[in-house]
Chain A
Amino acid sequence: MPQTNSSEGLLPGLSDPVLDQQSVFRAVLYAVSHPGSIVALPVRLTPPAPLDPSTAAVALTLADYETPLWLDAAAQSSRVSGYFRFHCGCPLTARPEEAAFAVVADASAMPPLGLFHTGSDEYPDRSTTLIIQLPSLDNGEAWTLRGPGIEKSTVFAPAGLPGDFRTWIADNRVLFPRGVDLIFTCGASLAALPRSTRLED
């Protein structure tokens, strides 16, 4: 890691770690159990650029010393890595297949989902959860979602994803119960696409 003075320019994390993590977790839990629903972030946070508040809040809520974190090229500044090292105490990894969580700040340049850890048939839970920051959660190409957590079907329209992303999700679904889970963030809102969700053509 580059030498930086960790206290210099280090931005504060969640103001009340106990209750803020609880409320952020409940927002994430709601999002994962209602795929495609857009949930407002219940806390205020000023993370280092290029992170949005919801991207940082989800990572601060879920990551700790047990969960290696992978950062994409856009998020790989010393300020961002210092921020996560200080507030989460999590190890950073350069290998996506080792990561428990991955933060993608620039979705358009992200690697395929298949490069991340998809778990094993016996332990599908040992997979990567990706936190993908997007320019918008509702003005992209409209996808129709079905599956657990959705009453009939729902429309989700994330913007700023690579052109092949739909194929990646279909490939991820084929692996079920293996696969990665996706949390999409934008500004102070978030949505999720767990591996159980099916995309309609």
Chain B
Amino acid sequence: MNTSQGYNFAYLDEQTKRMIRRAILKAVAIPGYQVPFGSREMPLPYGWGTGGIQVTAGIIGPDDILKVIDQGADDTTNAVSIRRFFARTAGIRTTSRTEEATIIQTRHRIPETPLSAGQTIVYQVPTPEPLRWLEPRETETRKMHALADYGIMHVKLYEDIARFGRISTTYDYPVLVDDRYLMRPSPIPKFDNPKMHRNPALQLFGAGREKRIYAVPPWTSVRSLDFEDHPFEVQKWSQACALCGSTESFLDEVVTDDKGGRMFVCSDTDYCQRRRDAKEAAE
């Protein structure tokens, strides 16, 4: 193990890790409930994944293999620096291959490659409270969760339909976990919501600025809110990925010049690259 001198394993001190670990266990025991925790100052600003990093630091061990993605990409600044942070402070191995990783820390995507039992996915969460934009008072939202009174969220979705003819929320789409707690899935596209339902991997969520940890245990029901006459739907594209030809993945629109040129490519870089490699090998 080759770790930075002068830091504890995985950066955080042991008492902080114990506090985070206790919060994680409660979060798993009460699926979807946001457990308050004593979020620490991290060596990067809020909004860059401090919650996810603290959760990862609480669980990671020398045998783990870490993958970090930012909007599906392994090679963006945030993903590279978080991977490097753990390689330096915990001396762990890192990877970009989804199925090779034991822990996947993510910002705003769930990998296209299905997760398997035994893996843990850690989401970076900016705003954990699904009712926050509807009710700013924490005392009130807490009471709503206690009573499972989620009427205002249904009213909000209904107002969308009344105004636009459809539910206009396309990311951070509210879900009900194990038919009890309303939960924000973090700003993943609603395209990824169905992947959370009965996923064999353990899903942990960390919000650093808002000081909350929550979880979805494996094989847990995660239902996106909808109405009988307006069922939940995910995004669809008329194109395939311009690089790998996938018609099943989440596509990003990339502007290629200033004359209106654009292309659609997979947001999951590992998935896209591996499909291209396989195609090349077959030729």
Contact = CB atoms under 8 A, between A and B. Distances in A.
Interface in B1-52: 8-9, 14-15, 17-19, 21-31, 33, 35-36
- Tell me the dominant secondary structure on chain A's binding face: loop
Contacts of B35: 125
A23 B61 contact: yes
A147 B31 CA distance: 10
B237 interface: no
Contacts of B147: 121
Interface string B216-229: 11111000000000
Interface stretch (A1-9, A29-37, A160-168): A29-37
Interface stretch (A13-21, A45-53, A73-81, A133-141): A13-21
A129 interface: yes
Interface string A37-65: 00000000000000000000000011111
Interface residues of B, number: 42
Contacts of B242: none
B219 A148 contact: yes
Given A33-B217, A177-B30, A181-B25, A21 B143 contact: no
Given A25-B59, A121-B147, A148-B219, A129 B25 contact: yes
A194 B18 contact: no
Given A148-B219, A151-B219, A176-B180, A29 B25 contact: yes
Contact of B178 (A22, A28, A61, A196): A196
Contact of B202 (A23, A33, A127): A33
A66 interface: yes
Given A19-B61, A19-B62, A22-B61, A32 B29 contact: yes
A51 B67 CA distance: 39
B156 interface: no
A26 interface: yes
A22 B218 contact: no
Interface in A169-201: 176-177, 181, 194-196
Pick the most buried of A123, A148, A150: most chain B CB atoms within 10 A of its CB.
A148
Contacts of A100: 22
A29 B9 contact: no
Contacts of A176: 30, 180
B169 to A, nearest CB: 25
B114 to A, nearest CB: 15
Interface in A115-137: 120-125, 127, 129
Given A29-B24, A148-B178, A181-B29, 16 more contacts: A19-B62, A21-B18, A33-B28, A62-B18, A64-B18, A65-B15, A121-B146, A122-B146, A123-B36, A124-B30, A125-B36, A147-B178, A151-B218, A151-B219, A194-B30, A196-B217
14 contacts: A25-B58, A28-B25, A29-B24, A29-B28, A62-B18, A62-B22, A122-B142, A124-B33, A125-B30, A125-B36, A149-B219, A151-B218, A177-B33, A177-B180
Interface of A: 17-19, 21-23, 25-26, 28-29, 32-34, 61-67, 100, 120-125, 127, 129, 147-151, 176-177, 181, 194-196
